[in-house]
Amino acid sequence: MRYQPIRKEMYISNRAKLVAKLKPGSLAIVNSNDEMPRSGDQTHPFRQNSDMFYLTCLDQEKCILTFCPEHPVESMRELLFTVKTNDLMVIWNGHKYTLEQVSEVSGIKNVKWLDEFEITLRDLMSRVQVVYLNQNEYPKFITEVPSRDVRFAAKMLQDFPVHTYERLAPIITEMRLIKEPEEIVQIQKACNLTNDGFRRVLQFVKPGVLEYEIEAEYTHEFIRKGGTGHAYPPIIASGANACILHYNTNFNTCKDGDLLLMDVGAEYGNYAADMTRTIPVNGKFSPRQRQVYNSVLHILKSAAAMLKPGTSIEKWHGEVCKLMEKELVGLGLINKQELKRQTADSPAYFRYYMHGTGHFLGLDVHDVGSRQVVFESGMVMTCEPGIYIPEEGIGIRLENDIMVAEEPINLMAAIPVEPDEIEELMRG
Protein backbone atom coordinates (compact mmCIF):
# COMPACT_ATOMS: atom_id res chain seq x y z
CA MET A 1 0.00 0.00 0.00
CA ARG A 2 1.47 3.33 -1.07
CA TYR A 3 -0.22 5.38 1.69
CA GLN A 4 -0.43 5.00 5.46
CA PRO A 5 -4.03 3.93 6.24
CA ILE A 6 -6.08 5.08 9.18
CA ARG A 7 -6.22 2.60 12.05
CA LYS A 8 -9.17 0.21 11.97
CA GLU A 9 -10.56 1.59 15.24
CA MET A 10 -11.99 4.61 13.40
CA TYR A 11 -13.89 2.37 10.97
CA ILE A 12 -15.20 0.21 13.82
CA SER A 13 -16.48 3.41 15.45
CA ASN A 14 -18.02 4.66 12.18
CA ARG A 15 -19.97 1.42 11.77
CA ALA A 16 -21.20 1.52 15.36
CA LYS A 17 -22.48 5.07 14.83
CA LEU A 18 -24.28 4.01 11.66
CA VAL A 19 -25.95 1.02 13.30
CA ALA A 20 -27.19 3.25 16.13
CA LYS A 21 -29.09 5.37 13.56
CA LEU A 22 -30.93 2.47 11.88
CA LYS A 23 -34.57 1.71 12.59
CA PRO A 24 -35.39 -1.36 14.69
CA GLY A 25 -35.67 -4.61 12.75
CA SER A 26 -33.72 -3.39 9.75
CA LEU A 27 -30.98 -4.44 7.34
CA ALA A 28 -28.48 -2.07 5.69
CA ILE A 29 -26.38 -2.94 2.63
CA VAL A 30 -23.41 -1.05 1.16
CA ASN A 31 -21.69 -1.97 -2.12
CA SER A 32 -18.20 -1.23 -3.37
CA ASN A 33 -17.76 0.58 -6.67
CA ASP A 34 -17.59 -1.12 -10.04
CA GLU A 35 -14.46 -1.64 -12.04
CA MET A 36 -15.28 0.72 -14.89
CA PRO A 37 -14.63 -0.53 -18.43
CA ARG A 38 -12.36 1.59 -20.60
CA SER A 39 -11.88 -0.11 -24.00
CA GLY A 40 -10.77 -3.49 -25.26
CA ASP A 41 -9.85 -5.54 -22.20
CA GLN A 42 -8.92 -2.47 -20.11
CA THR A 43 -10.59 -0.87 -17.12
CA HIS A 44 -10.14 2.57 -15.60
CA PRO A 45 -8.10 2.71 -12.36
CA PHE A 46 -10.33 1.53 -9.53
CA ARG A 47 -11.56 4.08 -6.99
CA GLN A 48 -13.53 2.82 -4.03
CA ASN A 49 -17.03 4.04 -3.23
CA SER A 50 -16.42 6.70 -0.59
CA ASP A 51 -19.16 5.42 1.72
CA MET A 52 -17.76 1.89 1.61
CA PHE A 53 -14.28 3.22 2.31
CA TYR A 54 -15.57 5.38 5.18
CA LEU A 55 -17.03 2.29 6.84
CA THR A 56 -14.33 -0.31 6.10
CA CYS A 57 -11.03 1.15 4.76
CA LEU A 58 -11.26 -1.52 2.04
CA ASP A 59 -9.84 -0.35 -1.26
CA GLN A 60 -11.03 -3.24 -3.45
CA GLU A 61 -13.87 -3.92 -5.87
CA LYS A 62 -16.57 -6.60 -5.43
CA CYS A 63 -17.16 -6.11 -1.71
CA ILE A 64 -20.55 -5.98 0.02
CA LEU A 65 -21.11 -4.85 3.61
CA THR A 66 -24.27 -5.80 5.52
CA PHE A 67 -25.67 -4.79 8.90
CA CYS A 68 -28.50 -6.75 10.54
CA PRO A 69 -28.18 -5.59 14.16
CA GLU A 70 -31.05 -7.66 15.58
CA HIS A 71 -30.23 -10.97 13.94
CA PRO A 72 -30.44 -13.71 16.61
CA VAL A 73 -27.05 -15.09 15.55
CA GLU A 74 -24.37 -12.61 16.58
CA SER A 75 -22.00 -13.54 13.75
CA MET A 76 -24.66 -12.49 11.22
CA ARG A 77 -25.11 -8.95 12.53
CA GLU A 78 -22.15 -7.47 10.66
CA LEU A 79 -20.80 -9.17 7.54
CA LEU A 80 -18.36 -8.35 4.78
CA PHE A 81 -18.37 -10.30 1.53
CA THR A 82 -15.34 -10.16 -0.78
CA VAL A 83 -14.28 -11.80 -4.03
CA LYS A 84 -12.66 -15.21 -3.63
CA THR A 85 -9.04 -15.25 -4.64
CA ASN A 86 -7.04 -18.02 -6.29
CA ASP A 87 -3.47 -18.47 -7.47
CA LEU A 88 -4.29 -17.74 -11.11
CA MET A 89 -6.07 -14.49 -10.24
CA VAL A 90 -3.06 -13.35 -8.22
CA ILE A 91 -0.65 -14.19 -11.05
CA TRP A 92 -2.63 -12.14 -13.58
CA ASN A 93 -4.06 -9.31 -11.49
CA GLY A 94 -2.01 -9.14 -8.31
CA HIS A 95 -2.99 -9.25 -4.69
CA LYS A 96 -6.59 -9.47 -3.45
CA TYR A 97 -7.69 -9.50 0.17
CA THR A 98 -7.81 -12.76 2.04
CA LEU A 99 -10.56 -13.17 4.62
CA GLU A 100 -8.03 -12.57 7.38
CA GLN A 101 -6.72 -9.41 5.73
CA VAL A 102 -10.22 -7.98 5.40
CA SER A 103 -10.65 -8.42 9.15
CA GLU A 104 -7.25 -6.88 9.88
CA VAL A 105 -7.87 -3.79 7.72
CA SER A 106 -11.50 -3.14 8.64
CA GLY A 107 -11.95 -4.67 12.09
CA ILE A 108 -14.90 -6.70 10.77
CA LYS A 109 -14.80 -10.10 12.47
CA ASN A 110 -17.15 -11.99 10.18
CA VAL A 111 -16.00 -12.15 6.56
CA LYS A 112 -17.30 -14.42 3.80
CA TRP A 113 -16.51 -15.04 0.15
CA LEU A 114 -18.79 -13.24 -2.26
CA ASP A 115 -20.23 -16.49 -3.63
CA GLU A 116 -21.97 -16.95 -0.27
CA PHE A 117 -23.79 -13.64 -0.52
CA GLU A 118 -27.03 -14.72 -2.24
CA ILE A 119 -27.93 -17.48 0.21
CA THR A 120 -26.91 -15.32 3.17
CA LEU A 121 -28.99 -12.42 1.88
CA ARG A 122 -32.13 -14.58 1.85
CA ASP A 123 -31.56 -15.43 5.48
CA LEU A 124 -31.07 -11.78 6.39
CA MET A 125 -34.13 -10.65 4.45
CA SER A 126 -36.32 -13.20 6.20
CA ARG A 127 -35.52 -11.49 9.52
CA VAL A 128 -36.33 -7.87 8.64
CA GLN A 129 -38.99 -5.64 7.17
CA VAL A 130 -36.96 -2.45 6.59
CA VAL A 131 -33.98 -2.46 4.19
CA TYR A 132 -31.57 0.47 3.80
CA LEU A 133 -29.97 0.77 0.36
CA ASN A 134 -27.28 3.23 -0.63
CA GLN A 135 -26.64 5.35 -3.71
CA ASN A 136 -24.84 8.53 -4.78
CA GLU A 137 -27.20 11.41 -3.96
CA TYR A 138 -24.88 14.30 -4.76
CA PRO A 139 -27.33 16.88 -6.21
CA LYS A 140 -25.26 17.81 -9.28
CA PHE A 141 -24.30 14.23 -10.17
CA ILE A 142 -25.99 13.06 -13.37
CA THR A 143 -24.89 10.02 -15.34
CA GLU A 144 -26.31 7.72 -18.00
CA VAL A 145 -24.32 4.79 -16.55
CA PRO A 146 -26.22 2.94 -13.79
CA SER A 147 -23.96 2.38 -10.78
CA ARG A 148 -23.63 -0.90 -8.89
CA ASP A 149 -25.81 0.64 -6.16
CA VAL A 150 -28.59 1.46 -8.64
CA ARG A 151 -28.44 -1.98 -10.29
CA PHE A 152 -28.41 -3.68 -6.89
CA ALA A 153 -31.44 -1.67 -5.73
CA ALA A 154 -33.39 -2.65 -8.86
CA LYS A 155 -32.63 -6.34 -8.26
CA MET A 156 -33.63 -6.08 -4.60
CA LEU A 157 -36.96 -4.52 -5.52
CA GLN A 158 -37.54 -7.30 -8.03
CA ASP A 159 -36.53 -10.16 -5.73
CA PHE A 160 -38.02 -8.80 -2.49
CA PRO A 161 -40.91 -6.54 -3.52
CA VAL A 162 -42.87 -6.60 -0.26
CA HIS A 163 -40.14 -5.19 2.01
CA THR A 164 -39.96 -1.51 2.95
CA TYR A 165 -36.95 0.32 1.56
CA GLU A 166 -35.16 3.31 3.08
CA ARG A 167 -32.35 5.60 1.91
CA LEU A 168 -29.01 5.06 3.62
CA ALA A 169 -27.28 8.07 2.01
CA PRO A 170 -28.75 10.74 4.33
CA ILE A 171 -27.44 8.89 7.39
CA ILE A 172 -23.92 8.43 6.02
CA THR A 173 -23.89 12.00 4.69
CA GLU A 174 -24.62 13.38 8.15
CA MET A 175 -21.82 11.26 9.59
CA ARG A 176 -19.25 12.19 6.93
CA LEU A 177 -19.80 15.94 7.29
CA ILE A 178 -17.78 16.24 10.50
CA LYS A 179 -14.31 14.81 10.04
CA GLU A 180 -12.68 12.62 12.63
CA PRO A 181 -9.20 13.76 13.75
CA GLU A 182 -7.69 10.85 11.78
CA GLU A 183 -9.42 12.12 8.62
CA ILE A 184 -8.03 15.61 9.13
CA VAL A 185 -4.57 14.03 9.26
CA GLN A 186 -5.13 12.42 5.84
CA ILE A 187 -6.48 15.64 4.33
CA GLN A 188 -3.48 17.51 5.75
CA LYS A 189 -1.15 14.99 4.10
CA ALA A 190 -2.92 15.60 0.78
CA CYS A 191 -2.48 19.36 1.33
CA ASN A 192 1.21 18.85 2.12
CA LEU A 193 1.70 16.92 -1.13
CA THR A 194 -0.05 19.73 -2.98
CA ASN A 195 2.35 22.19 -1.37
CA ASP A 196 5.30 20.09 -2.56
CA GLY A 197 3.93 20.04 -6.08
CA PHE A 198 3.28 23.78 -6.15
CA ARG A 199 6.78 24.64 -4.94
CA ARG A 200 8.22 22.32 -7.59
CA VAL A 201 6.18 24.06 -10.28
CA LEU A 202 7.29 27.53 -9.15
CA GLN A 203 10.82 26.50 -10.09
CA PHE A 204 9.67 25.05 -13.42
CA VAL A 205 7.31 27.60 -14.96
CA LYS A 206 8.70 30.04 -17.54
CA PRO A 207 7.59 31.40 -20.89
CA GLY A 208 7.38 28.65 -23.49
CA VAL A 209 6.47 25.71 -21.26
CA LEU A 210 3.32 23.77 -22.10
CA GLU A 211 0.41 23.48 -19.71
CA TYR A 212 0.57 19.69 -19.76
CA GLU A 213 4.25 19.80 -18.84
CA ILE A 214 3.25 21.65 -15.67
CA GLU A 215 0.55 19.05 -15.01
CA ALA A 216 3.22 16.36 -15.31
CA GLU A 217 5.38 18.10 -12.69
CA TYR A 218 2.50 17.93 -10.20
CA THR A 219 1.78 14.31 -11.09
CA HIS A 220 5.41 13.33 -10.58
CA GLU A 221 5.58 14.97 -7.17
CA PHE A 222 2.25 13.60 -5.94
CA ILE A 223 3.00 10.00 -6.86
CA ARG A 224 6.63 9.90 -5.78
CA LYS A 225 5.59 11.15 -2.31
CA GLY A 226 2.98 8.42 -1.79
CA GLY A 227 -0.17 10.04 -3.11
CA THR A 228 -2.52 8.19 -5.43
CA GLY A 229 -2.32 11.04 -7.94
CA HIS A 230 -4.70 13.92 -8.54
CA ALA A 231 -7.92 14.21 -6.54
CA TYR A 232 -9.63 15.55 -9.71
CA PRO A 233 -8.62 16.45 -13.27
CA PRO A 234 -6.19 19.37 -12.84
CA ILE A 235 -6.83 22.78 -14.37
CA ILE A 236 -3.62 24.29 -15.76
CA ALA A 237 -4.92 27.42 -17.49
CA SER A 238 -2.65 30.09 -18.93
CA GLY A 239 -3.71 33.44 -20.33
CA ALA A 240 -7.34 33.63 -21.45
CA ASN A 241 -7.83 29.96 -20.54
CA ALA A 242 -7.97 31.05 -16.88
CA CYS A 243 -11.39 32.57 -17.58
CA ILE A 244 -12.76 29.10 -18.45
CA LEU A 245 -13.78 27.74 -15.07
CA HIS A 246 -13.39 24.03 -15.84
CA TYR A 247 -10.68 24.22 -18.49
CA ASN A 248 -8.59 21.03 -18.33
CA THR A 249 -7.38 20.27 -21.84
CA ASN A 250 -4.03 21.69 -20.65
CA PHE A 251 -2.27 21.81 -24.03
CA ASN A 252 -1.50 25.48 -24.68
CA THR A 253 1.84 27.26 -24.40
CA CYS A 254 2.45 29.57 -21.44
CA LYS A 255 3.37 33.01 -22.80
CA ASP A 256 5.47 35.83 -21.45
CA GLY A 257 3.25 38.36 -19.65
CA ASP A 258 0.38 35.94 -19.08
CA LEU A 259 -0.95 34.64 -15.80
CA LEU A 260 -1.20 30.92 -15.07
CA LEU A 261 -4.13 29.64 -13.00
CA MET A 262 -3.62 26.18 -11.51
CA ASP A 263 -6.49 24.39 -9.76
CA VAL A 264 -4.79 21.23 -8.49
CA GLY A 265 -5.07 18.89 -5.53
CA ALA A 266 -3.34 15.70 -4.47
CA GLU A 267 -5.19 12.64 -3.23
CA TYR A 268 -3.77 10.77 -0.25
CA GLY A 269 -5.40 7.64 1.14
CA ASN A 270 -8.58 8.51 -0.82
CA TYR A 271 -8.79 11.97 0.83
CA ALA A 272 -8.67 15.06 -1.36
CA ALA A 273 -6.89 18.38 -1.31
CA ASP A 274 -8.13 21.24 -3.49
CA MET A 275 -5.83 24.20 -4.15
CA THR A 276 -5.86 27.05 -6.62
CA ARG A 277 -2.96 29.43 -7.17
CA THR A 278 -2.39 32.00 -9.90
CA ILE A 279 1.16 32.99 -10.83
CA PRO A 280 2.86 35.13 -13.50
CA VAL A 281 4.39 32.99 -16.23
CA ASN A 282 7.48 35.22 -16.40
CA GLY A 283 7.83 35.42 -12.61
CA LYS A 284 6.70 39.04 -12.24
CA PHE A 285 3.16 40.38 -11.83
CA SER A 286 2.31 43.44 -13.90
CA PRO A 287 0.85 46.37 -11.91
CA ARG A 288 -2.69 45.52 -13.06
CA GLN A 289 -2.25 41.80 -12.43
CA ARG A 290 -0.99 42.51 -8.93
CA GLN A 291 -3.90 44.90 -8.28
CA VAL A 292 -6.47 42.26 -9.19
CA TYR A 293 -4.49 39.56 -7.36
CA ASN A 294 -4.45 41.57 -4.15
CA SER A 295 -8.22 42.04 -4.35
CA VAL A 296 -8.75 38.29 -4.64
CA LEU A 297 -6.24 37.64 -1.84
CA HIS A 298 -8.05 40.10 0.43
CA ILE A 299 -11.34 38.31 -0.19
CA LEU A 300 -9.71 34.90 0.36
CA LYS A 301 -8.41 35.92 3.79
CA SER A 302 -11.67 37.60 4.82
CA ALA A 303 -13.82 34.71 3.58
CA ALA A 304 -11.69 32.07 5.29
CA ALA A 305 -12.06 33.90 8.61
CA MET A 306 -15.86 33.55 8.31
CA LEU A 307 -15.78 29.74 8.30
CA LYS A 308 -17.02 29.37 11.85
CA PRO A 309 -19.76 27.21 13.38
CA GLY A 310 -23.28 28.52 12.87
CA THR A 311 -23.24 29.79 9.31
CA SER A 312 -23.83 27.90 6.04
CA ILE A 313 -22.50 27.95 2.49
CA GLU A 314 -25.54 29.92 1.40
CA LYS A 315 -25.13 32.64 4.04
CA TRP A 316 -21.34 32.67 3.76
CA HIS A 317 -21.39 33.11 -0.01
CA GLY A 318 -23.81 36.01 0.37
CA GLU A 319 -21.39 37.83 2.68
CA VAL A 320 -18.45 37.13 0.39
CA CYS A 321 -20.33 38.59 -2.57
CA LYS A 322 -20.69 41.88 -0.66
CA LEU A 323 -16.89 41.95 -0.32
CA MET A 324 -16.58 41.14 -4.01
CA GLU A 325 -18.77 44.11 -4.95
CA LYS A 326 -16.47 46.51 -3.10
CA GLU A 327 -13.35 45.06 -4.72
CA LEU A 328 -14.85 45.17 -8.21
CA VAL A 329 -15.79 48.82 -7.72
CA GLY A 330 -12.25 49.55 -6.55
CA LEU A 331 -10.85 47.83 -9.64
CA GLY A 332 -13.05 49.93 -11.92
CA LEU A 333 -14.96 46.92 -13.21
CA ILE A 334 -18.39 47.92 -11.93
CA ASN A 335 -19.75 51.22 -10.60
CA LYS A 336 -22.20 52.26 -7.93
CA GLN A 337 -24.92 52.94 -10.50
CA GLU A 338 -24.73 49.31 -11.62
CA LEU A 339 -25.05 48.22 -8.00
CA LYS A 340 -28.23 50.26 -7.65
CA ARG A 341 -29.73 48.72 -10.80
CA GLN A 342 -28.79 45.12 -10.01
CA THR A 343 -31.37 42.48 -9.06
CA ALA A 344 -31.13 39.31 -7.01
CA ASP A 345 -31.32 37.28 -10.23
CA SER A 346 -28.76 39.43 -12.04
CA PRO A 347 -26.17 40.77 -9.59
CA ALA A 348 -23.54 43.14 -10.95
CA TYR A 349 -20.63 41.08 -9.64
CA PHE A 350 -21.71 37.99 -11.60
CA ARG A 351 -20.02 39.26 -14.75
CA TYR A 352 -16.63 38.83 -13.06
CA TYR A 353 -17.36 36.30 -10.30
CA MET A 354 -19.79 33.61 -11.40
CA HIS A 355 -19.19 30.62 -9.10
CA GLY A 356 -19.60 29.67 -5.47
CA THR A 357 -17.10 30.57 -2.77
CA GLY A 358 -16.49 27.00 -1.64
CA HIS A 359 -17.68 23.46 -1.07
CA PHE A 360 -17.24 20.64 1.42
CA LEU A 361 -14.06 18.58 1.11
CA GLY A 362 -13.13 15.10 2.29
CA LEU A 363 -13.21 11.67 0.69
CA ASP A 364 -14.56 13.43 -2.39
CA VAL A 365 -13.27 16.73 -3.67
CA HIS A 366 -16.90 17.89 -3.81
CA ASP A 367 -17.81 16.13 -0.61
CA VAL A 368 -21.23 15.43 0.85
CA GLY A 369 -23.26 18.33 2.24
CA SER A 370 -25.74 20.92 0.97
CA ARG A 371 -25.61 24.72 0.80
CA GLN A 372 -28.01 24.91 3.74
CA VAL A 373 -26.06 22.69 6.17
CA VAL A 374 -25.16 24.64 9.29
CA PHE A 375 -21.41 24.58 9.83
CA GLU A 376 -20.00 22.71 12.82
CA SER A 377 -16.46 22.42 14.08
CA GLY A 378 -14.55 19.70 12.25
CA MET A 379 -16.14 20.23 8.85
CA VAL A 380 -13.70 21.04 6.03
CA MET A 381 -14.43 23.63 3.35
CA THR A 382 -12.65 25.00 0.35
CA CYS A 383 -12.46 28.79 0.09
CA GLU A 384 -11.96 29.92 -3.51
CA PRO A 385 -12.88 33.45 -4.58
CA GLY A 386 -11.88 34.57 -8.04
CA ILE A 387 -12.08 37.49 -10.45
CA TYR A 388 -12.23 36.82 -14.20
CA ILE A 389 -11.77 39.65 -16.73
CA PRO A 390 -11.83 38.14 -20.23
CA GLU A 391 -11.42 41.51 -21.93
CA GLU A 392 -8.08 41.96 -20.11
CA GLY A 393 -6.98 38.33 -20.40
CA ILE A 394 -6.91 38.09 -16.59
CA GLY A 395 -8.32 35.20 -14.58
CA ILE A 396 -7.29 34.94 -10.93
CA ARG A 397 -8.58 32.42 -8.41
CA LEU A 398 -7.03 31.59 -5.03
CA GLU A 399 -8.14 28.60 -2.98
CA ASN A 400 -7.28 27.13 0.41
CA ASP A 401 -8.77 24.25 2.39
CA ILE A 402 -10.11 25.37 5.76
CA MET A 403 -11.30 23.40 8.79
CA VAL A 404 -14.34 25.01 10.39
CA ALA A 405 -13.67 26.11 13.97
CA GLU A 406 -14.17 29.12 16.23
CA GLU A 407 -10.74 30.09 14.91
CA PRO A 408 -10.77 28.56 11.40
CA ILE A 409 -7.72 26.42 10.61
CA ASN A 410 -6.02 26.87 7.24
CA LEU A 411 -4.80 23.42 6.18
CA MET A 412 -2.84 25.09 3.38
CA ALA A 413 -1.06 27.68 5.50
CA ALA A 414 2.31 26.37 4.28
CA ILE A 415 1.47 26.92 0.60
CA PRO A 416 2.78 30.28 -0.71
CA VAL A 417 0.10 32.77 -1.66
CA GLU A 418 1.53 36.26 -1.05
CA PRO A 419 2.57 37.82 -4.39
CA ASP A 420 6.02 38.87 -3.15
CA GLU A 421 6.78 35.35 -1.94
CA ILE A 422 5.64 33.83 -5.23
CA GLU A 423 7.86 36.17 -7.21
CA GLU A 424 10.81 35.44 -4.92
CA LEU A 425 10.37 31.66 -5.22
CA MET A 426 10.06 31.91 -9.01
CA ARG A 427 13.35 33.77 -9.15
CA GLY A 428 14.70 30.67 -7.41
Catalytic residues: 41, 246, 263, 274, 355, 359, 366, 384, 388, 397, 399
CB 322 within 8 A of CB 302: no
Q: How far apart are CA 130 and CA 200, in angstroms?
A: 53
CB 35 within 8 A of CB 259: no
Q: How far apart are CA 214 and CA 221, in angstroms?
A: 11
CA dihedral defined by 339, 343, 349, 352, rounded to 10 degrees? -130
Burial of 391 from C-beta contacts in 10 A (0-12 / 13-18 / 19+): exposed
Q: How far apart are CA 31 and CA 27, in angstroms?
A: 13
